[in-house]
Amino acid sequence: MKPAPFDYVAATEMSEALDALHQGGTEARVIAGGQSLVPMLNMRLARPAMLVDITRIPELSRIEAKGDQVTIGAAVRQSALERWPDLADRLPLVRAALPWVGHAQLRNRGTVCGSVAHADPSAELPLCLIALGGNVTLRSRRKTRTVAARDFFQGMMSTDLAPGEMIVSVAFPARKDGTGFAFREVARRHGDFAIVACAATARPDGTATLAVGGVADTPATLDLPADMADLDDRLNEFAWHLQARDDLHATARYRRDLVRRLGHTTLKEALSCRD
């Protein structure tokens, strides 16, 4: 299994990357950590004519906590975020989710933004980005634009990214006082893609949001009021609404059941750990 031939641009400046992506148009692709793209190249599921490596552009390897959000550049590896000293304080949900993203050997290369760009329906980082209401900043030679995560993910492995554009960063809202977070996942083995993953955020007034990955084509959210008397009914309705399908890993019925139970536990955990 070898990739089909492609041109390779190792950009060291943003303008080089953007020029190359502009020229390459639909035939060009960004390569970041390569942990999703190279398997697709090896299996020839992808045959781009040009790859633009963005990992050597210095300004993309920054993690910045400014105001009420944490901005993560496109060259930041998942392991670098895992080791960021402020992670537990600023992004407790992401901290809980990161160990579930593949294995350490993959996180050492894979980037945070690459996972968002790849938009696998089971992926943990897109799920967190949606649960927290984060956003994605895209840039082309012509313009820079910022899109809410909820609008960025459009379908299974399909996003709002246009030809000639790249993600320069994603931004997660930082933790505020009195909020709580929880992450839970069921997978065949630790490190495998999620059958169902749940991320919950709870606010000081007792309202909460549950985000679920692995079931629908994109992560889906359910907003809950402080009065959770009918929580189980709401979760049941949500589980059906996601239109789970049978596949190799699990039946639709099992997935619905996980949404109900894991969703419940994750929400309760988020509510109870508010501080």
Q: Binding string, 122-161, against another protein, x = CB under 8 A? A: ----------------------------------------
> Binding segment for another protein among 62-70, 102-110, 208-216, 230-238 (CB under 8 A)?
102-110
| Rounded least distance, CB 33 to ligand FAD, Å | 3
Helix (H) or strand (E) holding 267: helix 252-272
Q: Work out the burial of residue 274: count CB atoms within 10 Å of its CB; fewer than 13 is exposed, 13-18 middle, 19 or more buried.
A: middle
CB 186 within 8 A of CB 262: yes
**What is the C-alpha to C-alpha distance for residues 199 and 127, in angstroms, rounded to an integer?**
7
Binding another protein by CB under 8 A: which of 46, 87, 106, 228? 106
**What is the C-alpha to C-alpha distance for residues 3 and 5, in angstroms, rounded to an integer?**
6
Helices then strands, counting H and E runs in the chain, come out as 11, 14
| Rounded least distance, CB 169 to ligand FAD, Å | 9
**What is the C-alpha to C-alpha distance for residues 218 and 138, in angstroms, rounded to an integer?**
19
> Binding segment for another protein among 42-50, 143-151, 239-247, 258-266 (CB under 8 A)?
42-50
CB 178 within 8 A of CB 275: yes
When CB distances are held under 5 to 8 angstroms depending on the partner's kind, the choice from another protein, ligand FAD, none that residue 212 binds is none
Binding site for another protein (CB under 8 A): 1-13, 16, 20, 31, 34-35, 38-39, 41-43, 49, 51, 53, 55, 79, 99, 102-106, 108-109, 189-191
Binding site for ligand FAD (CB under 6 A): 29-37, 39, 54, 74, 101-102, 106, 110-111, 113-115, 117-118, 120, 123-125, 161, 166-167, 193
